Amino acid sequence: MRGIDFRQPGAPLADDASLAGGNEGSQTHGVRDDASPQGAGRAPGAEGIHGDELALAGGCEPGCGPRFDAPVMPEGYLWWYVDAFSDDRRHGITLIAQVGSCFSPYYAWARRRGDSDPLNHNSLNVALYGACKRWSMTERGRSALRRDASRLEIGPSALSWDGTCLTIRIEEIAVPIPRRIRGTVKLYPRTVAGQPYFLDGAGRHRWAPIAPGARVEVQLDQPALSWAGHGYLDSNWGSEPLEKAFRYWEWSRAELKDGGTAVLYDAARRDGHRTELGLHFDPAGDVERIDVPPHATLPTTAWLMQRGTRVDPQQTARVTETLENTPFYTRSVLETHLLGEPVTAMHESVCLDRFDSRWVQVLLPFRIPRALR
């Protein structure tokens, strides 16, 4: 069976771990002035975090890599996201390690009962794309979570960071057909970034691109898969549920011909403002802010989820594959045009209004089982 051809055109709560402090001795790459907004990011829109605010760096230390023991606020969340395409564009993978799983129906129900403990809602989401598809996201409680600065264990799966490589050991069960996903993914950053950015006006939601460009090696025993390709690593964290701050957002990342990466955030916020953020990371790790190009509408999904992206003026974007299709979330591969060149982009659309609806949260346990222990 032919796989996806991407080549087609287109700790206890508030635990004793200290907030990540100043990063003396870390090797950070340059950030050009136009990527470093003034006012510590308090104006509407995504802004850079500077000075003492690096103490709130959450899921990473700038220039050092992921940090897995960062405290998570009550009602908050923290996740690390990896995606990769194989060199032959026939395989893909996404992995999301979540502490305080923000899309968990169990966490949402617990908050309504007054239980705001994020460390009781954790999961490793694994999605395989191509000829061999698998999807898993088993939620686990506080007793299944173990973590320190360089290692995160969620049940039988684990992430570890040795300063040069992120190793993800997967031991999960797929749904809806129970099949094992077992093996190892290794991510080698080309450079380590980690500068955090606000995504909202109040500074409660932050995002940091840790490795905008990376080499990824996938070695799975079940299913039997072995491939390598270009990848990406970032982290998001917040002190309140996503749906309190956002109505809808779109995100995408694309590899450029020079080996750099373009990242776009486009979010409709509940305060009436929009977050429009465009960044270009060159192969050396330097970053500059780019003008966010015009918006283009993409076809709606079978669930009538609206999709859109940003594309260079007088250019077009199209969906080549819909990888995830749910009532409130869609992940797609796009053929689009950014910074003057045609690119293939990983893209997601999230409707938080839909996620917050009861009918969606009633459906979610069919895709997100919760382990008894």
Three-class HEC string of the chain: CCCCCCCCCCCCCCCCCCCCCCCCCCCCCCECHHHCCCHHHCCCCCCECCHHHHHHCCCEECCCEECCCCCCCCCCEEEEEEEEEECCCCEEEEEEEEECCCCCHHHHHHHHCCCCCHHHCEEEEEEEEECCCEEECCEECHHHEEEECCEEEECCEEEEECCCCEEEEEEEECCCCCCEEEEEEEEEECCCCCCCEECCCCCCEEEEEEEEEEEEEEEEEECCEEEEEEEEEEEEEECCCHHHHEEEEEEEEEECCCCCEEEEEEEEECCCCEEEEEEEECCCCCEEECCCCCEEEECCCCCCCCEEEECCCCCCCEEEEEEEECCCEEEEEEEEEECCEEEEEEEEEEEHHHHCCHHHHHHHHHCCCECCC
- pLDDT of 57 reads 57
Two tokens, residue 327: 């009532």
d(CA 178, CA 239): 34
Q: Which residue's entry shows tokens 């996903």?
A: 181
Give Dmax over CA atoms of the chain in angstroms: 54
Of residues 58, 59, 142, 128, the one with CA closest to residue 97: 59
Residue 315 contacts residue 226 (beta carbons within 8 Å):
no
Asked if 235 and 78 count as a contact pair (C-beta separation under 8 A), the reply is yes
Read off the CATH number of the domain in which 97 is found: 2.40.370.10
Range of the domain at 226: 38-366
Residue 3 maps to a domain: no
Q: How many CB atoms lie within 10 A of CB 130?
A: 22
In a domain, 9, yes or no: no
pLDDT score at 17: 31
310 alpha carbon, distance to own chain's centre: 18
Residue 351 burial (10 A CB sphere; 0-12, 13-18, 19+): buried
What is the reported pLDDT for 285? 84
Total residues found in the chain within this entry: 373
Determine, yes or no, domain membership for 165: yes
> Is residue 28, in this structure, part of any structural domain at all?
no
Estimate to the nearest angstrom the gap between the alpha carbon of 55 and the chain centroid.
21
| Full-model pTM | 0.87
* 36 burial type by CB count under 10 A (0-12 exposed, 13-18 middle, 19+ buried): middle
Closest CA to 125 of 173, 190, 73: 173
Instruction: Count other Cβ atoms within 10 Å, centred on residue 228.
Output: 17
For residues 105 and 364, give the distance between their C-alpha atoms in angstroms, rounded to a whole number. Answer: 6
Q: Which tokens sit at 252?
A: 């995408």
Asked if the structure places residue 246 within a domain, the reply is yes
Spatial separation of the C-alpha atoms in residues 183 and 26, rounded to whole Å: 32
Q: Is 6 a domain residue?
A: no
* Residue 338: CB atoms within 10 Å: 25
User: pLDDT tens digits, the chain, 373 residues: what are they?
Assistant: 333 333 332 222 223 232 232 333 333 333 333 333 332 333 334 444 443 343 355 899 989 999 999 999 999 999 999 999 999 999 999 999 999 999 999 999 999 999 999 999 999 999 999 989 999 999 999 999 999 999 999 999 999 999 999 999 999 999 999 999 999 999 999 999 989 999 999 999 999 999 999 999 999 999 999 999 999 999 999 999 999 999 999 999 999 999 999 999 999 999 999 999 999 999 988 999 999 999 999 999 999 999 999 999 999 999 999 999 999 999 999 999 999 999 999 999 999 999 999 999 999 999 999 997 6
Rg of the chain in Å (alpha carbons):
19
Residue 12 lies in a domain: no
Q: What is the pLDDT, as a whole number, of residue 56?
A: 54
Residue 7 included in any domain: no
Q: How many domains does the chain have?
A: 1
